[in-house]
Chain A
Amino acid sequence: MTDPEIRIAGSERLIVSSSPHFHSGASVGNIMLLVILTLLPACLAAVYHFGLPAFRVLALCMLFCVGGEAFFSKCMKKPLEINDFSALLTGLLLGMNLPPGTPSWICLVGSLIAIGIGKMVYGGIGYNPFNPALVGRAALLVSFPQVMNTWQTPGLDAMSSATPLQELGLLQQNALAGDGAALREFLQNIPYRDYLLGKMGGSLGETCALALILGGLVLIALRIIRWQIPVFMLATVAACSALAWLAKPDLYAPPQFHLLSGGLLLGAFFMASDPVTSPMSRLGATIFAIGCGLIISAIRLWGNYPEGVSFAILIMNALTPLLDRATAGKPFGAQKKVVKNA
C-alpha cells in the first residue's frame, strides 16, 4: 500500500484556502473575448463595405487602447491587466463608433480619452461609471464635430454623404418649413434591405443590422448580457417612434426605420448592456433600458442632434448606482423590504 505521506505535497506547498474549492472557470478575459467575437461579424461587414480604411480605424483604436492602458497602468504603478481583453474591447467599440475615414490622430486622441478618462482615472476595470468607449466618442464628437460628421456611404468611394438619420432630420426641417415633398419621397422609399446589410452611411459598427442582431442574440443566449437591456431599449424606441409615426405619418419615420438606423442596435446590444455600467438587478436593468429608449426617442424625434444613442446611454450610466440601490431585491425569507442605505 502506498504510504500516504509520500504523495502529499510538502505542507509548505499544500494549499489551505477558503471554500469553495471548485470554480466554474468563468473569467473576465473569457467574457470580454466572447463579446469581441460576437462583434466580429459586424466588423467584417464594415470592412467589406468600407474597405481597408475601416480596418485601419478599428485596428488603430484597439492598438491605442491597449497601449494606452499599458501606459497608464505603468504611470499609476498598477498591475498590468491588458490580458483581460477589456481594453481591446473598448478599442474595438470605440472604432465601431467612428466614421470610416477617421484620421489616425483622432483615433489616438479618442483612445487615450476612452482609456484614460473613461476608465483608468476611476481605478481601472470595474470601477468606471461610464462606458469608456462612449466617453471617448462623446469627447471626440464635442471637440471635433467636423471630423466626426464626415460620413461615407458604402460603395460610393470616399464620397461624403449623410447618414439616414441626418437625412431624415434635414428633410423634416424642410417639411416643417413647408416643403414636404422630399420627405414624403424619402419615407416612401426607405431601403430597409440596405440597412439590414449595412449599405448606409454611419459609424463603422452601426451599419450592418443583421450582424449586430446576430451577435447580440449570441450574447443573450450565453447570458453574457442581461437580456432586459437590449429588449426593453429597442422596444421603447419602437413604441415611441410608432406613436409619433401613427400621429403624423407624413412627418415621422416608422418604427422599423428607427430600429435599423444609426447606432441603436450597436448601443442596445453592446454598449448599454456593458455590465460594469448598467444596473445589476433585473428591474434596475429594465428601468435603465426604458430610460435609454426614452432619451433616444426624445433626441431623435424632437432634438437638434440627429442621433442620441451615446448620450442616452451615458446619462443612464450616471443613474446606475441610484437604480441599483432603489431596486435591490429582498433576501430570501425577509419579512419586508429592508431600507438600504448608500
Chain B
Amino acid sequence: MSKIFRFYGGIHPQDAKLASHRPILAAPLLEKYTVPLQMHIGAPAKSLVQKGQKVLRGQLLAEPGSYVSAAIHSPVSGVIKEQSSCLSVSGTQWPALIIESDGEDQSQEPMPAISDWQEADPALLLKRVAEAGIVGKGGAAFPTHVKLAPPEGKSIDTLIINGVECEPGLSADHRLMLEKPEEIITGALIVARILKAKNIYLGIENNKPDALKLMRDKAAHSALQPRGLKVRYPQGAEKQLVYALTKRKVPSGGLPMDVGCVVQNVATVYAIYEAVLKGKPLYERVTTVTGDPVVNPGNFLLRIGSSYADALQLAGGLKEEAAKIISGGPMMGIAVYSLDIPVTKNCSGLMFLSSSQLSQFQSKACIRCARCNDACPMQLMPSILSTQIENERFELAETWNVLDCIECGCCAYVCPAKRPLVQHMRRAKTEVIAKRQSEAAKKTS
C-alpha cells in the first residue's frame, strides 16, 4: 500500500533507538519484589494477603477496588514480607506489597485456557481480561476491561492496534512484534471479538520495516490489516493514530469510542493473548532500558515489582554518569530522582541521559515564531496559551481549548525561546479541571 497515512502537525525528533536490534532477554529471578497496589488509573486494588503469607507466582494478591481498577497478581513465589509503601514515579508514595522470593518460582495452577475463543462468549473473554489484571501497557495504565466495554449506545466498528512506539529510544513494542507476531495477531482478534469490531488495523511507523513486513506476512490471511505510517511524533497518541488510520476526528473533549474506535497497544493485546490462551495473568512485561550512558541497552522481560535499579543491572549499569533518569521515553516520560521505584504494568522504558544530552532550558520571552502552533498535533496555539497562562488567565486558556492538550511536548521541543510550554499547559489544565469540579460540586449541593 503506497498511501501515506499521517496526522496534523507533529515533529521528527531524533530516533535514539539504541536497543531495537536487541532481542528480549528474560530477567533472572530476584530476591525481592515491590508490587504497588495502585499502578493503574482508578481505585487502588484491595490487598487479599497477610504479612507472612506464602504466595505462588500468578496468585491473586489484590482485587480491584472498584469497577475502574485492576487486579494484581504475584510475580513470583515466596512470602509476603510486608505491607508498606514505595516511591512512585511521580514522587509520591504508593501502597505496596513487598514479596520475598523463595527461589522456586512456583506457579499456581493457571486459569483454564479459553482455546475456543473464536466461539466463546465475548462476555467471558472480557471477564478474563479483568481477571488477568490487564491495563493499558503503552501509557496511562487505564484498566483494559473498562476500555473494552464501551457504554450503551456507543457502537465500535474499528479496533486499532498501536504498534507505533513513537517515543524516541523505546523498542519494547518493536521487539515484541518481531518476536511474538502470531500471539499479537491472536490477541488483536480476541479484542475484536469482544468489541464486535469489523475493521482491525495495526499501525506501525515506516521506521520499523522489519516489523511491518513480518506482521503483514503473518496477518496475510487474518482480518488484521497492518498499515505503514509516516514517521512522525506523536503518531502513537490515540487521537492522532485514529485520524491517521481512519480519517475520523475524535471530537474535542471526546474519546476514540465517540468515532467508533478503540485503540489498544501491542503489548496489551499480547497480554490479552496470554490471559485467554495461556491463562496467565499480567505480572511481567517487556521494558526497554536505554540511553547513551547505559553499557548494554536492551529490552528485558521484567517481573512487575522489580526495581529500576534491577533493570539497570540487567543492562550492564552505566558507563558514564547519568544526569537524568526518565521513566518512559524522552518526549512524555517522567524524570525520576531514584532507582528505587518498582517497574509497573505500564513501564515501557527507562531512559538514562548524560549531562551532555541535556539542553539548558533557560527560558525566554516568546518571539512569536509560531513553530509551536505548527507543531501542535491538536492544532492549539501554545504560544498564545502560554502567555495567557503566565498571566494566570486560566478562564481565557479554557476558551482557547487548553483541555485538548495531550501533553505530547511537540511545542516545547521546537520552541527556540525554550519556553516551558508543557508545564504551562499542565498548570492550566489542572486549574480548569479544578474549577469545573468545584462548579459541579456547587451545582449538586
Interface of A is mostly: loop
Q: Flag if A8 contacts B333 (CB, 8 Å).
A: no
Q: In whole angstroms, how far apart are the Cα atoms of A333 and B403 in the complex? A: 12
Flag B96-136 by CB within 8 Å of A: 1 or 0 each. 00000000000000000000000000000000000000000
Q: Flag if B324 contacts A14 (CB, 8 Å).
A: yes
Chain A residues within an 8 Å CB radius of B323? 9, 13-15
Q: Flag if B337 contacts A16 (CB, 8 Å).
A: yes
Asked if A19 is at the interface of the complex by the 8 Å CB criterion, the answer is yes
Q: Flag if A1 contacts B317 (CB, 8 Å).
A: yes
Q: In whole angstroms, how far apart are the Cα atoms of A17 and B351 in the complex? A: 14
Asked if A332 is at the interface of the complex by the 8 Å CB criterion, the answer is yes
Q: In whole angstroms, how far apart are the Cα atoms of A329 and B370 in the complex? A: 13
Q: Flag if B252 contacts A333 (CB, 8 Å).
A: yes
Select which of B252, B330, B364 is within 8 A of A332 by beta carbon.
Answer: B252
Q: In whole angstroms, how far apart are the Cα atoms of A189 and B293 in the complex? A: 70
Q: In whole angstroms, how far apart are the Cα atoms of A281 and B377 in the complex? A: 15
Q: Flag if A19 contacts B407 (CB, 8 Å).
A: yes
Within 8 A of A (CB), among B286-336: 293, 295, 309, 312-313, 316-326, 330-336
Asked if A28 is at the interface of the complex by the 8 Å CB criterion, the answer is yes
Chain A residues within an 8 Å CB radius of B239? 332-333
Asked if A77 is at the interface of the complex by the 8 Å CB criterion, the answer is no
Flag A14-29 by CB within 8 Å of B: 1 or 0 each. 1111111111111110
Q: In whole angstroms, how far apart are the Cα atoms of A124 and B364 in the complex? A: 10
Q: A22-B168, A24-B414, A28-B416 known; A8 and B365 CB under 8 Å?
A: no
Chain A residues within an 8 Å CB radius of B339? 4-5, 8
Chain B residues within an 8 Å CB radius of A330? 379
Flag A299-342 by CB within 8 Å of B: 1 or 0 each. 00000000000000000000000001000111111110011110
Chain B residues within an 8 Å CB radius of A84? 364
Asked if B270 is at the interface of the complex by the 8 Å CB criterion, the answer is no
Q: How many residues of B contact A (CB 8 A)?
A: 79
What distance in Å separates the Cβ of B321 from its nearest Cβ neighbour in chain A?
A: 5
Select which of B351, B358, B399 is within 8 A of A341 by beta carbon.
Answer: B399
Q: Flag if B317 contacts A2 (CB, 8 Å).
A: yes
Closest to A125 in B: B365
Chain A residues within an 8 Å CB radius of B377? 332
What distance in Å separates the Cβ of A269 from its nearest Cβ neighbour in chain B?
A: 16
Asked if B14 is at the interface of the complex by the 8 Å CB criterion, the answer is yes
Select which of B317, B325, B333, B353 is within 8 A of A19 by beta carbon.
Answer: B333
Select which of B335, B373, B413 is within 8 A of A24 by beta carbon.
Answer: B413
Chain A residues within an 8 Å CB radius of B139? none
Q: In whole angstroms, how far apart are the Cα atoms of A311 and B60 in the complex? A: 76
Asked if A226 is at the interface of the complex by the 8 Å CB criterion, the answer is yes
What distance in Å separates the Cβ of A155 from its nearest Cβ neighbour in chain B?
A: 40
Select which of B16, B317, B332 is within 8 A of A3 by beta carbon.
Answer: B317
What distance in Å separates the Cβ of A325 from its nearest Cβ neighbour in chain B?
A: 9
Q: Flag if B331 contacts A22 (CB, 8 Å).
A: yes
Chain A residues within an 8 Å CB radius of B336? 16
Asked if B11 is at the interface of the complex by the 8 Å CB criterion, the answer is yes
Q: In whole angstroms, how far apart are the Cα atoms of A20 and B16 in the complex? A: 14
Q: In whole angstroms, how far apart are the Cα atoms of A126 and B401 in the complex? A: 24
Q: In whole angstroms, how far apart are the Cα atoms of A276 and B412 in the complex? A: 18
Q: Which of A8, A17, A338, A340 has the most CB of B within 10 A?
A: A8
Q: Flag if B381 contacts A328 (CB, 8 Å).
A: yes
Q: Flag if B422 contacts A333 (CB, 8 Å).
A: no
Q: In whole angstroms, how far apart are the Cα atoms of A340 and B399 in the complex? A: 6
Q: Flag if A19 contacts B371 (CB, 8 Å).
A: no
Q: Flag if A335 contacts B252 (CB, 8 Å).
A: yes
What distance in Å separates the Cβ of B397 from its nearest Cβ neighbour in chain A?
A: 11
Within 8 A of A (CB), among B327-380: 330-339, 351, 353, 355, 358-359, 361, 364-371, 373, 377-380
What distance in Å separates the Cβ of A71 from its nearest Cβ neighbour in chain B?
A: 19
Chain B residues within an 8 Å CB radius of A9? 321-323, 355
Asked if A256 is at the interface of the complex by the 8 Å CB criterion, the answer is no
Asked if A280 is at the interface of the complex by the 8 Å CB criterion, the answer is yes
Q: Flag if A21 contacts B365 (CB, 8 Å).
A: no
Q: Flag if B416 contacts A30 (CB, 8 Å).
A: yes
Q: In whole angstroms, how far apart are the Cα atoms of A8 and B353 in the complex? A: 10
Q: What would 25 A/B residue contacts be, using CB atoms closer than 8 Å?
A: A4-B318, A7-B319, A8-B325, A13-B323, A17-B335, A19-B331, A19-B333, A19-B335, A20-B330, A20-B422, A21-B351, A21-B353, A22-B330, A22-B331, A24-B413, A30-B416, A81-B364, A275-B369, A276-B368, A324-B384, A331-B404, A333-B252, A333-B404, A335-B251, A341-B396
16 new A-B contacts at CB < 8 Å, known A22-B330, A126-B366, A276-B368:
A4-B313, A4-B339, A13-B323, A14-B337, A15-B324, A16-B335, A19-B330, A19-B407, A20-B332, A21-B331, A24-B413, A27-B418, A28-B367, A31-B369, A126-B365, A333-B254
Which 9 A-B pairs give the minimum distances between C-beta atoms?
A2-B317, A20-B409, A126-B365, A7-B318, A280-B370, A26-B416, A23-B359, A21-B330, A4-B312
